[in-house]
Amino acid sequence: MDVLYFAWVRERIGLPREKVETEATTVNDLVAELRAREERYDMAFSDLSALRVALDQQLSDFDAPLAGVREVAFFPPMTGG
């Protein structure tokens, strides 16, 4: 699946997107796999309350299932102005 990173998440990980082979069944499982990779991922995902996730461009929850999902995007909450 494609995993996309936006704003400071992208800056901490150092990539805008990557293809990920995963056995994860939920977003939380995917985050755990990513955090175990390297310190930069661990740092980026250390506070999930500061992140939002979208599955196939639909805002979702971290306990959402990944079955059939082609794209996961992580980003900080958006603010209006």
- For the segment 14-52, what is each residue's pLDDT rounded down to a tens digit? 999 999 999 999 999 999 999 999 999 999 999 999 999
β partners of residue 5: 74
Euclidean distance between CA atoms 31 and 44, whole angstroms? 10
Q: Euclidean distance between the first and final Cα of the chain, in Å?
A: 33
| R_g over Cα of the chain | 12
How much is the average pLDDT of 51-60?
98
Residue 8, CB-side half-sphere exposure with 13 Å CA sphere = 11
